[in-house]
Amino acid sequence: MDYPGPTSLGGTLPAQGPIIPETTLNVTNSLQISLEKLVFWGAYAGAAYLILDPLAPNWDIEQAAFPDGHYHFSLKMKRFYAGGAGESRVVFHQRAKELMRRGGYDGYQVLEYSEGMESSVLGSQRVSQGVIRLTRSEAAAKAGNAANDAKRNGRN
């Protein structure tokens, strides 16, 4: 297939005039927007969206499991965010409840919790840390022990 004109780019581009032509978009009779402004603000909005990423979670959670149902949480907030600055404790408790339900526990106890700010060249970042202990009620613990004993003795 033959293409009209040159098939490779060379020299200075564009050959004549600016890349974005001097054109005005007539939205209404009284409102005209230049194409240059439209492209500029579109690029600005796209860059802001990529930096803020509104669909990404505000908090990053790292957890470590220890014996006897103890868990250590370390939470870090996104460095650039649009809201969610005061929700550290809520996220902490949501994660604790999730572990509690998944493990079949009845509750949890917060042993330690702290919030703070870490500073760096790029700006400050909210952080929080805490330790929980997952708990079972007396009846649930006895039922769990009886089930474990039955399994060890070959009864189901």
pLDDT of residue 133: 96
Q: Report DSSP letters for 63-75, one per residue.
A: EEEETTTEEEEEE
Task: Report residue 30 as tokens.
Answer: 């009284």
pLDDT of residue 147: 59
Mean pLDDT by 10 residues, the chain (156 residues): 59 69 85 88 84 71 93 88 75 93 93 91 87 85 61 61
Residue ranges covered by each domain of the chain? 22-52, 59-152
Please state, as a whole number, how many other Cβ atoms lie within 10 Å of the Cβ of residue 128. 19
